[in-house]
Amino acid sequence: MKSFLFISSLFVLLGCTNDATQTRKLQNETHQNAKADVKVGLNAAYRPNYPNTEYLQPGMFSSGAYFRADDALEQIFLEEAWLGIFQTKHNWYLNPVKPKIETVYDGIVDDTEADTANWSGKIMSSAKNCRFVLRKGSLLPKQLKVLYADRTSPTYHDEKSVLLPGDTLEYAFKGIHYWLYAKGRKLPKEEGLDDQRFGQYALYLETDDPNQVQKVQLLRSTDPSYEYGPNRLECLFVGLIDADAIPDLIISSNFDGRILYLSGEAKEQRIVEPVFYEPMTGGC
């Protein structure tokens, strides 16, 4: 009987010890999960997309870009050397260009149109037939091999340029194939909205090039409720901008503006790497 009581007591003690261990483990896991939730929450609030443009330099602008004096972009245009992506009737070229800055009336923040001394709007103009202005960096003037470009201008949306979940833009160069495609999930339609909205958006680039990592993620929305609808994300340009034989990209994201991806800057054989972005400078 004494032995039975001793053994029973031992089991109870072991059970309590095990419960305490499990409780500590559960508390630790909960604490870690809470940290993870905070991290995800911060990312969703401040870094909703890859690439994080806070780590990129502003260095690509559509011709005729608008910004305000407090955006501090005018000095960049004055100090940097620039190249333009030019489109003519028969060819595309990468040529030197010198952006010009004109001060204009801003109907949102300026008091009177007559008071030209206090105008705060700025318009960057470049040259005829120039579609994009890029920081020169290591880029050289040359004729461009263009594999895809939206039909008319950076503000025009054609069916091929908009990439919704399920859409694929395919192109090839020297026997190597590339697929630019989007994934995501449909969100329930809201009353009064005609367009289908999507959450958990991700944009990928895939290739059959055996010398590259064959699939990379270019953009993603970490916030599942972040909505992409038609004309929200586009591929505006695919072509050989730098010196190698791997196509480069200009992607338009409605969150981060336009982003230039260059293959020559790719890390760890990632196919392309985000290099410059055009900040969203207009609007309210």
Question: What digits encode the pLDDT tens for the residues 53-63?
Answer: 667 888 998 87
Kindly give, in sequence order, each residue whose CB lies less than 8 Å from that of residue 33, ignoring residues fewer than 6 positions away. none
User: Greater confidence, 194 or 107?
Assistant: 107
The model's confidence at residue 283, banded by pLDDT at 50, 70 and 90, is: low
Q: Given pLDDT bands bounded at 50, 70 and 90, which one contains residue 13?
A: very low
C-alpha distances (whole Å) from 101 to each of 92, 121, 123 are 25, 10, 6
Q: Is the pLDDT of residue 28 over 70?
A: no
Spatial contact of 271 and 130, defined as CB atoms under 8 Å apart: no
Residue 232, pLDDT score = 65
The answer to whether residues 50 and 259 touch, using CB atoms and an 8 Å cutoff, is: no
Total residues found in the chain within this entry: 284
Higher pLDDT, residue 206 or 33: 206
- 40-49, 81-90, 132-141 — which is least confidently predicted? 40-49
Question: Where are the chain's structural domains?
Answer: 1-46, 58-278
Question: The whole model's pTM is what?
Answer: 0.75
Number of neighbouring beta carbons within 10 Å of residue 64: 14
Q: Tell me the pLDDT tens digit for each residue of 129-188.
A: 999 999 999 999 999 999 998 764 445 556 778 888 889 999 999 999 999 999 888 888
**What is the average pLDDT value for the chain, to the nearest integer?**
76
Q: Reply yes or no on whether the pLDDT at 238 is more than 90.
A: yes
| Segments of 213-272 assigned E as strands | 215-220, 233-240, 248-253, 257-262
Cα torsion angle, 68, 71, 75, 78, sign: negative
**Cα gap 84→93, rounded to integer Å:** 8
Tell me which of 27-31, 55-59, 257-261 is least confident.
27-31
- Specify which of 32-41, 84-93, 155-164, 220-229 reaches the highest per-range mean pLDDT: 84-93
Q: Which of 36-40, 62-66, 184-188, 195-199 has the lowest mean pLDDT?
A: 36-40
